[in-house]
Structure 1
Amino acid sequence: MKLLHRQIFKELLKLFGLTVSCLLGLILIGRMLQLRSLFLSQNIGFLNILELFFYLTPFFLLLVAPISTMLSVFLTFLRMSTDNELTALKANGVSLYRMLPAPVFFCVLSMLFTFFIAMWGLAWGMDMFKTSLYEFARSQSRFALQPGVFNKEFPGITFYAHQVNNETGELKFAFVRDQSIDGASVVVVAPEARVISSPESAEVRIIFSRGKIFRQNDDELNVLRFGSYSIRLDLAELLGGYNFGEEKAKDMTFAQLSRIRQDPTLAPYQSEQFMRKVDTEYFKRLTLPLGCLILGMFAIPVAYIFRGLKQQYGLLLAMGLFILYYSMFSIGVSMGEGGSIPPVYGLWAPNVLYVMVAAVGIRFANQERSLPLVQWLAHLRNWRRSGA
């Protein structure tokens, strides 16, 4: 039995690694264009986008780990069923219950790994993502002005400087035209200016020295001399509206979510909607890791009982059950954040349902009995064949 458990566990690990790699690869391909479009024409390289994706990996793993666990268990037992290994083991007195230690141990490890991501890894990844995103925008974007070139990266604002030192941020003969004000056009001209970045506030300031401001309202033109004048630019505009300062529930650690639920005055936003998001995120961090264990156990009877059907039918049915689980979970998240139902009910409902089905399914599988649904599908297949 030790040899059997070891072989099952090895196969589960291989399939888990393969499944996670494939799913993350597909997500990477889908997100590459999104991350690239985030910077539009900014000078951000391919390796920088890969670094940003690495910091987003904990967020993706929280969603990918449960389905990867279920697929690994399902494909392992489906192969054993197709190769008649389960039949041979049954003939030698090895029941399904005696084969459970390996998949249970594997599912528990996957659950603990996902719990680690949910409790600490997710918040770390989002913090690093924000920090790196800001740093790339500050140091590597084309907002680092080029001498003699008009820069229009910010909507409604045009920059120009005759001489530029991007290392010190000093500008000579600087010109700015601001058309973001309705009904007015403002032009700032100065012999000297300086660009200063503020990582704490996620903004860029351009400080002009000893210049003039030309403000035109319809046919009226006003000219104002100044000794020092500052323009504040929000990097969120440069990054397609990404808000660095906004605190989101999904970016917090599990400990922060717990403290806010116990003491709502600690919340950065005193609103009912934000508290609903905190509650929803809190239960999401609990239910998704437990989903690894529940979905893994659910996959065993799916692969074992449906061995009478063809492999492609069983795989399609299993994928349909995956989609059903995540659909129920997504509906629970939406309704919880919207206030339709308490998040505790909406997010725990899929796990409770699948636990009950898994318990009944394993019992039927150990007795080599088919569920009524499987018998109905088999009858339907035979009826179609006889009709043809």
Structure 2
Amino acid sequence: MRLLKIIHRQIFKELVQLFLLIGSCLLGLILVGRMLQLRELLLSQNLGVLDILRLFVYLSPFFMLLLTPIACMLSVFLTFLRMAADRELTALKASGVSLYQLLPAPLLFCGACTLFSLYVSLYGVSWGMEQFKVSLMEFARTKTKLSLQAGVFNQEFPGLTIYAQQVDLDSGDIRFVFVQDKTSKGLTTTVVAPEGSVTTDPAKEQIKVMFKNGRIFRREGEKLDVLHFGSYTVRLPLGNMLRKMGFERISPKELSFERLLEFDRDSELMSKVFDLDRARKVKVEIQKRLALPLACLVLGLFSVPIACVFRALKQQHGLVLALGVFLVYYSMLSVAESMGESRVVPPVIGIWLPNILFALAGGVFFRQAVRERVPGPVLWAARKLQRRRPA
């Protein structure tokens, strides 16, 4: 009994170490790629290291929802593949320890990954995306070329020319401001004011330039109107630029689970916010938010017998094999997602089908692995991979 506790502790420790290593590497690669894609939005990179890390933290939950099942599966697969290749499993079997008795450690680990992924799915995704957009707009106002630079005619937004003689980026206060608006065809609006301020409106995804105690000159053809005002606001649509980079104002993938359920229950509210295609995506996203966390448990346990079968493989080849298995799972999930959005199959059936099939296959393979029997197709694949190994 004491021996089993030591074995479980060592297996669990190795699983956690591999999960942290694999998860951090995959997440880092994806985040770096995403930041390179955002260079067009940020225009000039004046962000500090802490600012970039802050954006990384906010983006992480969105990607961790998908990466957690991959990292969980690879951790279990590589751990048991190493144990099988080092003949540790053979030695344990000779000592009377069956494969069933080794299950508590991977079960506990996969259960912890499932709970973590479920928390990210229900709360983390929406929190991260909301904070990411707010921070991105704030950085755009204060730390990139989208901010108003003193003594420079800023023309970052098509049709708008903004000039300020004095700019305080910390407070957003500006003095001696000139704005020319040519966004309306045949109409030129010029605003001149002694003072104003720059603020962001995260809810509407806008940068607002507010003027005080100035004049508006409107010219349409030969007609010129002059207006005096106490307060006047020009709204810069930063949200349009965000959407060009793939961030929508209201996307089912970025909503909290509670908000998704609210839309699903209230068809009238759904029709006001989403069109028919996105309404289908809401129903699919609800099932996906539940199915992906459970995939940690399903794919993790599926990896145990597969690692025992392919025990002669090197770890780098085993890594490729495990990624191929996940690619099959994700392809099935993507097809089911598309079919659910097009109403070919109900989302509750299509999204859960990959988990059901892999759970059934894992049960069959596990039973065969305990009996030290290998299904014909798996044995054929194992022999093919072993023959291709370099000498």
Shorter chain as denominator, the TM-score bin is 0.7 to 0.9
Q: Is the 8 A contact 1:6 1:102 kept in 2?
A: yes
Map of 1:80 onto structure 2 = 83
The DSSP-based 3-state class of the residue aligned with 1:197 is strand
Q: Quick check: 1:281 aligned with 2:282? A: no
The DSSP-based 3-state class of the residue aligned with 2:249 is coil
Map of 2:328 onto structure 1 = 324
In 1: Cα distance, 2:195 partner to 2:45 partner = 23
**Cα deviation digits, residues 237-281 of structure 1 (max 9, x gap):** 465757998322222222222233223234351533232121111
State the percentage of identical aligned residues.
47
Q: Quick check: 1:37 aligned with 2:68? A: no
How far has the Cα of 1:180 moved from its partner? 2.6
Q: Is the 8 A contact 1:210 1:225 kept in 2?
A: no
Map of 1:215 onto structure 2 = 219
Question: Where do 5+ consecutive residues of structure 2 fail to align?
Answer: none
How far has the Cα of 1:303 moved from its partner? 0.4
Map of 2:8 onto structure 1 = 5
Q: Is the 8 A contact 1:137 1:239 kept in 2?
A: no
Map of 2:371 onto structure 1 = 367
Q: Is the 8 A contact 2:218 2:226 kept in 1?
A: no
How far has the Cα of 1:312 moved from its partner? 4.6
Map of 1:197 onto structure 2 = 199
CA 1:161/1:376 → structure 2, altered by over 3 Å: closer, same or farther?
closer
In 2: Cα distance, 1:258 partner to 1:57 partner = 23
In 1: Cα distance, 2:146 partner to 2:319 partner = 51
Map of 2:104 onto structure 1 = 101
The DSSP-based 3-state class of the residue aligned with 1:149 is coil
**Cα deviation digits, residues 34-80 of structure 1 (max 9, x gap):** 23332123744443222112011111111111011100000000000
TM (norm. structure 1) is 0.88
How far has the Cα of 1:15 moved from its partner? 0.8
How far has the Cα of 1:108 moved from its partner? 0.7
Question: Where do 5+ consecutive residues of structure 1 fail to align?
Answer: none
Q: Which amino acid is 2:196 matched to?
A: R
Q: Quick check: 1:301 aligned with 2:305? A: yes
Structure 1 stretch displaced more, 69-78 or 49-58: 49-58
Q: Quick check: 1:22 aligned with 2:20? A: no
How far has the Cα of 1:82 moved from its partner? 0.5
The DSSP-based 3-state class of the residue aligned with 1:307 is coil
CA 1:273/1:213 → structure 2, altered by over 3 Å: closer, same or farther?
same
In 2: Cα distance, 1:163 partner to 1:384 partner = 69
How far has the Cα of 1:335 moved from its partner? 2.8
CA 1:19/1:270 → structure 2, altered by over 3 Å: closer, same or farther?
closer
CA 1:164/1:50 → structure 2, altered by over 3 Å: closer, same or farther?
closer
How far has the Cα of 1:230 moved from its partner? 4.3
Q: Is the 8 A contact 1:161 1:175 kept in 2?
A: yes
Q: Which amino acid is 1:291 matched to?
A: A
2:188 to 179, 186, 189: 186
Q: Quick check: 1:227 aligned with 2:228? A: yes
Q: Which amino acid is 2:118 matched to?
A: F
In 2: Cα distance, 1:145 partner to 1:382 partner = 63
Q: Is the 8 A contact 1:165 1:171 kept in 2?
A: no
Q: Is the 8 A contact 1:39 1:239 kept in 2?
A: no
In 2: Cα distance, 1:12 partner to 1:298 partner = 15
Q: Is the 8 A contact 1:257 1:278 kept in 2?
A: yes
In 2: Cα distance, 1:168 partner to 1:376 partner = 68
Map of 1:151 onto structure 2 = 154
Q: Is the 8 A contact 2:179 2:192 kept in 1?
A: no
Q: Which amino acid is 1:331 matched to?
A: V
How far has the Cα of 1:134 moved from its partner? 2.7
How far has the Cα of 1:121 moved from its partner? 1.7
Q: Is the 8 A contact 1:153 1:238 kept in 2?
A: no
Q: Is the 8 A contact 1:212 1:225 kept in 2?
A: yes
CA 1:192/1:4 → structure 2, altered by over 3 Å: closer, same or farther?
same
1:347 to 345, 348, 351: 351
The DSSP-based 3-state class of the residue aligned with 2:196 is strand
In 2: Cα distance, 1:5 partner to 1:164 partner = 62
CA 1:75/1:208 → structure 2, altered by over 3 Å: closer, same or farther?
same
CA 1:378/1:16 → structure 2, altered by over 3 Å: closer, same or farther?
closer
In 1: Cα distance, 2:57 partner to 2:384 partner = 47
Q: Is the 8 A contact 1:302 1:318 kept in 2?
A: no
How far has the Cα of 1:210 moved from its partner? 4.5
